[in-house]
Amino acid sequence: MIEAMEKQQPGCFGDKGVVAFGFGIINFALAGGFFAGPVVGGPLVEGYGWRVMNVVLGVGGLGCVVAVGMVTGGGGWRWRCLGRRERGGREGGELEC
């Protein structure tokens, strides 16, 4: 997504601005999760128990995964080879490429 924005308007983020923008998005998402987790999880654990809290937060996490996949085009769904072919095959039971 960031690379597409940079291609449409070269230099719009300045020198190394694309990397800074990416880190900013990641930091924003982490801060939101660190805030929302306890705010949502606390009352759920007190009112309904540990199991319900885990289900609610898990469904929310899966929803975020789906949203990110839709925004980024879903290109990361397949496991990456990460050079395993050059090293001669699979390692540690990972999926084959």
What DSSP string describes 31-50?
Answer: HHHHHHHHHHHHHHHHHT-H
Contact 4, 21 (CB under 8 A): no
Mean of the per-residue pLDDT values for the chain? 76
pTM of the entire predicted model? 0.56
pLDDT band at 74 (very low <50, low <70, confident <90, very high): low
pLDDT at 72: 72
Q: Given a cut of 50, is residue 43 above it in pLDDT?
A: yes
Contact 37, 57 (CB under 8 A): yes
Contacts of 13 (CB under 8 A, 6+ apart): 5, 6, 20, 21
State how far the Cα of 60 lies from the Cα of 50, in Å rounded to an integer: 15
* Top mean-pLDDT range of 3-12, 53-62, 79-88: 53-62
Contact 77, 69 (CB under 8 A): yes
